[in-house]
Amino acid sequence: MKGEIRNYLIASSILIGSCIGAGVLGIPYVASKSGFLIALFYIFFVGGIILLINLYLGEVALRTNRTHQLSGYTEKYLGTKWRKLMEFAFIFGVYSAIVAYLIGMGESLSFLIFKTLDYSIYFGIFSGFVMMFLLWKGVQGLKRFEKFGVI
């Protein structure tokens, strides 16, 4: 039981660190460029769309006899071509998010250290190598450092 709680907390901290990290950095910047009311409207609008998508997916999962991943549900109800498209979109989205995080980390570190964005590419590449080093042995290598990402 204790191991299950520990694994749950580790998985939750990774998810919280990634979700909150993007929001803390992105939402204030977007709100400053577009205006508070427009940003608030988009937060509720996009949040409502995401809520509907998740409710639809939950309904599909409840009405399906077996448990599948998202690509499995896609294949079951829409066919193999759509499953392949779903997998491509997922992989493309994950790699795009990683590139966006590396660019953001590079710009942030460059501005914090040198007060200019001239070195952002070097800090982005350096951040990528640091993350690869930490993940060399899988998520187990990242466990020690993830608590700092949540703080």
**What is the arithmetic mean of pLDDT over 21-41?**
83
Instruction: Please give the Cα distance from 58 to 61 (Å, whole number).
Output: 5
Indicate the pLDDT class of residue 58, thresholds 50, 70 and 90. very high
Helix axes 120-134, 139-150, angle to 10 degrees: 120
**Hey, what amino acid is at 118?**
D
CA distance 130 to 46: 33
Is pLDDT at 146 greater than 80 in this prediction?
A: no
Assessment of whether the complete model's pTM goes beyond 0.75:
no
Q: State the chain's mean pLDDT as an integer.
A: 86
Residue spans of the domains in the chain: they are: 1-63, 79-141
Q: What is the pLDDT of residue 57?
A: 94
8-state DSSP, 117: S
Q: CB neighbours (10 Å) of residue 104?
A: 18
pLDDT on residue 141: 67
Q: How confident is the model at residue 41 (pLDDT cuts 50, 70, 90)?
A: very high
Identify the residue whose tokens are 């966006």. 100
